[in-house]
Amino acid sequence: MELTATTTIRRPATEVYAFWRDLENLPTFMAHLQEVRATGDRTSRWVADAPFGKDIAWDAEILEERPGEKISWRSAADADVPNAGTVRFTPAPDGISTEVHIALVYDIPGGTIGKAVAKYFGEEPHQQLDDDLRRLKQVMETGEVVRSDGAPWGKRAREEFPQRPAQPLSDAELAKGAGR
């Protein structure tokens, strides 16, 4: 499965690149990632979230990095769901903003994991990557992921409808949400 998405961020390319290159930042805006930990200069350990059915972890390696322009990576050979990605950062015509273009490739296996992955991506896999980039934009431009009463859990607000009503959260809901 190949997914592409793009957005424009009103920050310089060097800054957006630097944020992405610190791979440990990825889980702040990518819904499926729980943790990314750098294990070397170009290697890292990725843990994906429970929506996969169970946590799933793999090693990844950066194949190419051009500061301010491009990062490519791919999972190590033994990954359960082999995947690779490229993100490019190009100056927008306004001379201020940066266009972010991302392409991800998943080699979805058969069996239980394959089914879980397919279920996770649902009928509109592109929507999720679009939303990931929207959150990246929120973080880069405003400092954090924006929350509403209907969608209070930031990137964890995956199921868009029905949402909780647009009314303030109770103490119990806040405690439950904070613990997730």
Partner 1 sequence: MRANTWAGRNKVEVRDVPDPRILNKRDAVVRITSTAICGSDLHLVDGYVPTMQDGDVMGHEFMGEVVEVGPDVAAERLRVGDRVVVPFPIACGACNACAAELYSCCENTNPNAGIAEKMFGHPVAGIFGYSHLTGGFAGGQAQYARVPFADVGPLKIESDLADEQVLFLSDILPTGYMGAEMCDIQPSDVVAVWGAGPVGQFAMDSARVLGAAKVIAIDKEPYRLEMAERAGHIPVNFEEVDVRSRLLELTGGRGPDKCIDAVGLEATHGSAHIATYDRVKQAVRAESDRPHVLRQAIMSCRSGGVVSVIGVYGGLLDKFPAGAWMNRSLTLRTGQCHVQRYMKPLLGRIEGGELDPTRIITHTLPLEEAERGFELFKNKEDHCEKVVLKP
**Residues binding partner 1 (CB under 8 A):** 8, 10, 94, 97, 127, 130-131, 134, 137-138, 141-144, 146-152, 157, 160-163, 165-171, 173-174
In the complex, minimum distance from the CB of residue 56 to partner 1, in angstroms, rounded to a whole number: 25
- Residue nearer to partner 1 on the CB measure, 76 or 174: 174
Two structure tokens written together for 131: 């939303």
In the complex, minimum distance from the CB of residue 62 to partner 1, in angstroms, rounded to a whole number: 29
In the complex, minimum distance from the CB of residue 158 to partner 1, in angstroms, rounded to a whole number: 11
- Residue nearer to partner 1 on the CB measure, 108 or 169: 169
Please choose, from the candidates 17, 9, 25, the residue with its C-alpha nearest in 3D space to the C-alpha of residue 89: 17
In the complex, minimum distance from the CB of residue 123 to partner 1, in angstroms, rounded to a whole number: 13
Cα 134 to the center of its chain, rounded Å: 10
Query: Residue 59: which H helix or E strand, with range?
Result: strand 56-66
- Residue nearer to partner 1 on the CB measure, 78 or 94: 94
In order, the DSSP letters of 146-177 are ---SSSTTGGG----SS---SSPPPHHHHHHH
